[in-house]
Amino acid sequence: MPVNAEKEITKLWKNLHSAQKEICSTYYRWREAALEVAGPDADPTDIALKAAEVFGRDMGKNLLPRMNWLKGEEGFMMNLGRSLAGIWVTEGGIAFAEKGENPGEILIRCTRCPWPTVAKAYGVPMEEVALTRERLFQTMLKDVSVFMNVDVRIEMLKAIPRGEGEYLFRLYKAT
Amino acid sequence: MAKVLFDWDYSSYPGAKAYPHLFKPIQIGNLTVPNRIKYAATEDNLNDHNGFITDADVAYMRSRAEGVVGGLCFMQGVYMDKPGKGQGYVGQAACWDDKYIPGLKSIADAIHEKKAIAGFQLMDCGRVGAVEVESGHAPSTVPQRLRIFKPMYEMTHAEVKEMIQQHVDAARRGVEAGFDVMEISGIVGYLISNFLSSYTNRRTDEYGGDIRGRCQAMVEIIQGVKEVCGPDIPVGIRLCSDELLDDVRGNTPEESMVTYKMAEEAGADYISCTLGWQESIYPVISRDIPQGNWLYLAKRAKEHVNIPIQMAYRLFTPDKPNQAIGDEELDIWEICRSMIADPLMPKKVLEGREDEVRHCVACNLCLARLFRDAPMTCYINPRCAHEHDEAFTPQATDEEKEIMIVGAGPAGLECAYVAAQRGHEVHVYDKRDALGGTLLEASKAPYGDEELMTCVNFQKTMCEKAGVEFHLGEAVTEQLIADEMPDSVVLATGPTYPEVPDQDSGNVVNVLDVLSGKADVGESVVVWGNRKPGIGAALFLAKQGKKVTIVGREKTAGFDINPSFKWRYMIYLKQNGVMAYNDCDIEEIGDGEIIVKTYDGYRFPVQCDTVVLSEREANDALKKTVQSEGIELFVIGDALVPRNLSSAVHDGYRIGLRI
């Protein structure tokens, strides 16, 4: 059987990483376009956060068909955490969800993220990168909260672009 | 004394003896219904996009009215608001103005022509509505789970009141149009069910809160509709006995029973017992659900209320509802899809012609089309929704022909009886000894596919009654055609299968041999082809504990399965551990493995000891022979283009009409 597995996997792996990098680059190219249209008085961070809301709204809709309360609150929160981590993995990050200390609390860790590296190439402030990620997740959860009639929230505790070594998000249900 | 609209005496009919409980009267409100049969309100998308009734819809309803032999015949639910927020289907009938009354009256008259009881249904589609506008109305603003539905916005208190009044006004129009029974739709995600469910009703005013509060809108609608209907027109409601929305925190079954009790207290004269929502993740009416599976819910409903309970939902044959009525677990047999497939089904049962019933195969194509703005059609009944069109009705031929049909599968048999009914002399040849063609094997696939053979059983009866001559076990050759010299030849020979590329020593078998048990299949199998035949074979083998992989050229597995059923097959594949490589092909078959090539050129090996061929190709056999003899030729079914059972039946019917 003339299949060179190493060659096939290498080809796939390279193409996957190129695609992931291109996702980040495309976003920042669009950011530049938006800034040019918005003019010199616009605050780039405001525009980035608005973009995060637009993205988050649509990405949140993708979560709804998979929402499932059958495993109870804890199972629901863990599945939600895994979904958010999964988005990061698709983008090229290393991310996972784990149980927090409090009941129903989920921690989402990302120990490697492609976004700050690409952002740097486009001269984007690192704080904007961190805030954009936080706003993206927060917006995604808005529809989820309404849909499930549960007030689910997320807060950023650590961020790679702030030099804190990893991203750490706390996903929890507001009382 | 209860009102009797039409006199019916079933005592001399064989069906009344075989199914005595189905053909005994029942009182609903102050109305006597002579039997226990109801054609349930079903959208058909046949009406004008402004909501006016068309001749096509009148003809469609007339044929169903004939079928219920004096029972209840309901027209589709009407939407009741001018902006169309409650409109869920592009061809849905409207009733927000008196200008619709003449059209609605034509339906009531058509039903009465057949001495059946005309039912009118009020249906604001709520969460699944707003088909022609940007957004719809709902008790609360809850995001849609499925993107195909429009966003919904919370109704103000005044809008709720207005909506209730719209039901009352529409009911009055229904009465003026001449309908005999009024029904409110409160099921599957439509507006009333949105108010009832804890999933979609988060209101804090008197129309929300606990289950009694969530019932308030329904209660006011029932009371208002009762008032305009008066004592002689019964008012019923369709309600979920179990929403099957536990994954999104919908009502519990106990709460659903509270809705039943409150409907009864508000004055409902009967309840149509349903289950599930369009957003539910559980299957309810597809072929994999056993017949009679949900009767326990009707029984439970009867334990909670004292008004008649009706039910459809996987009750396709008269035996189970007859038994359930006899056991006092059900009062009226509702029929929907079974009368889409055969509008005269109950009539045939009554007349002892059960073998002439064309049974629904629960494929849900009818529903899939409605959700996609297409007119009603039926997978198995080519005449469905063409009742008004003479071109779809077999007419006696002016020129009798001798017709040779090659192939006794669904396409050939359909063509055979239609042509024979028209006066042709029809001979059906098949090299096999049995009728059914490739359906004989296809019906061996799991999850209810044995029901597909009901199609062939029906066709066999119809052929026999129309005088078709069968020549089974007789292969058609060039010589036979030359000897017989028929006027027309119909090639319904089924598909062929592609040649196997670069086979070293792989064990390659045909899908038909696998399903019939003739092939020797190893423990690790690759099925080549990701359409329905391949999926059926994959599941058949996976059920035997084999490790199965599907490799197919279509972008998604089950490309040819209609969307309302396809999701079930995707779950079956997952549950049975079947991996599907879509948008791929087999590049090479070797010893113990194959090489899969993706659409963009990646290659990888998959270990297997057997490859099952399920990809099909058109069949040209005998075509040139027939043409060279100057004989009229038709090619139908998979021989023309490999597709599905529906295409075979529709091809056969249309050519049967044309010859």
- Candidate from B142, B143, B590 with C-beta closest to A1: B590
* Of residues A1, A12, A64, nearest to B595 (C-beta): A1
For residue B501, the model assigns a pLDDT of: 61
What residue of A is the nearest CA neighbor of B592? A1
Name beta bridge partners: B581: B551
Does the CB of A12 have a partner CB in chain B at under 8 Å? Answer: yes
Nearest CA-CA partner of B190 in B250, B137, B135: B137
Chain B neighbors of A8, CB-CB under 8 A: 602-604
**Considering the entire predicted model, what is its pTM?**
0.93
b (16+ CB within 10 A) / e for B563-593: ebbbebbeebbeebebebbbebbbbbbbeeb
Find the CB nearest B248 among A2, A61, A148: A148
pLDDT of residue B506: 58
Contact: A8, B603; criterion CB under 8 Å: yes
Angle at A90 between CA A86 and CA A94, to 5 degrees: 70
Q: Does A65 touch chain B (CB under 8 A)?
A: yes
Give the residue from chain A lying closest to B589, CA to CA: A1
Query: Residue B637 — left, alpha, or beta (φ > 0 → left; ψ -120 to 50 → alpha)?
Result: left
Establish if A7 touches chain B: CB-CB under 8 angstroms: no
Cβ of B247 within 8 Å of Cβ of A68? The answer is: yes
Distance, C-alpha A101 to centroid of its chain: 23
Q: Per DSSP, which regions of B174-303 are E strands? A: 181-186, 235-242, 270-275
Chain A: residue whose CA lies nearest to B140: A146
The strand ranges marked E within chain A are 94-99, 106-112, 152-158, 167-173
Q: Quote ipTM for the complex.
A: 0.87
Find out whether B596 and B603 touch, Cβ atoms under 8 Å.
Answer: yes
A146 vs B143, B247, B603: nearest CB? B143
Which residues of B are less than 8 Å from A146 in CB distance? Answer: 141-143
Mutate to test the interface with A, among B247, B567, B589, B611 (most CBs of A within 10 A): B247
Give the per-residue pLDDT at B584: 96
Chains A, B: CB contacts under 8 A, how many? 50
Chain A residues with CB under 8 Å of B202 CB are 149
Whether B202 and chain A come into contact, CB under 8 Å, resolves to yes
Q: How far apart are CA A138 and CA A174, in angstroms?
A: 13
| Chain A residues 99-118 with CB within 8 Å of chain B | none
* Residue whose token pair is 């003809």: B59
Interface touch B247/A69, C-beta < 8 Å? yes
Smallest CA–CA distance from A1 into chain B, residue:
B590
Beta-bridged to residue B488, according to DSSP, are B403, B632
B574 touches chain A (CB under 8 A): no
For chain B, how big is the Rg over CA atoms in Å? 27
| Model confidence band, residue A158 (pLDDT cutoffs 50, 70, 90) | very high
B391 in A contact zone (CB under 8 Å): no
User: Is the Cβ pair B248, A11 closer than 8 Å?
Assistant: no
Exposure on the CB side of residue B58, measured as CA atoms within 13 A: 16
Burial of B519 (0-12, 13-18, 19+ CB in 10 A): middle
Residue B533, CB-side half-sphere exposure with 13 Å CA sphere: 26
Scanning B269-328 for CB atoms below 8 A from A yields 281
Tell me whether residues A64 and B588 touch, CB distance under 8 A. Answer: no
Cβ contact A21:B623 at 8 Å: no
Cβ contacts of A149 on chain B, cutoff 8 Å: 199, 202, 249
| Nearest chain A alpha carbon to B146 | A65
CB contact A13 to B (< 8 Å)? no
pLDDT in tens, B6-53: 999 999 999 999 999 999 999 999 999 999 999 999 999 999 999 999
Nearest to B418 by CA among B207, B156, B634: B634
Q: How far is B199 from chain A (nearest CA, A)?
A: 8
Tokens of B604: 């990888």
Residues in B closer than 8 angstroms to A143, CB to CB, are: 143
- Per-residue pLDDT at B625: 93
> B143 and A3: CB-CB below 8 Å?
no
Question: Would you say the C-alpha torsion A162, A163, A164, A170 has a positive or negative sign?
Answer: positive
**Whole-angstrom Cα distance, residue B231 to residue B339?**
30
Query: How many other CB atoms sit within 10 Å of the CB of residue A84?
Result: 22
pLDDT digits (tens, 9 = 90+) for A40-53: 999 999 999 999 99
Taking alpha carbons only, the member of B549, B370, B612 closest to residue B557 is: B549
Whose CA is closest to B72, among B32, B124, B13, B127?
B32
Query: Do B607 and B502 form a contact (C-beta atoms < 8 A)?
Result: no
Measured between alpha carbons, how far is B440 from B448 in angstroms, rounded to an integer? 14
In the predicted model, residues of chain B with pLDDT beneath 70 are: 500-506
β A106-112/A167-173 pair status: antiparallel
Q: Give dist(CA B659, CA B656) in Å, integer.
A: 6
Distance, CA of B600 to CA of B505 (rounded, Å): 27
Structure tokens belonging to residue B532:
């329905």
Stretch A52-56: mean pLDDT: 97
Contact list in A for residue B142 (CB cut-off 8 A) is 146-147
- The pLDDT tens digits of the residues spanning A70-81 come to 989 999 999 999
Chain A residue numbers touching B154 (CB-CB < 8 A): none
User: Residue B595 in 3-state DSSP?
Assistant: strand
**Closest Cβ–Cβ partner in A1, A12, A68 for B605:** A1
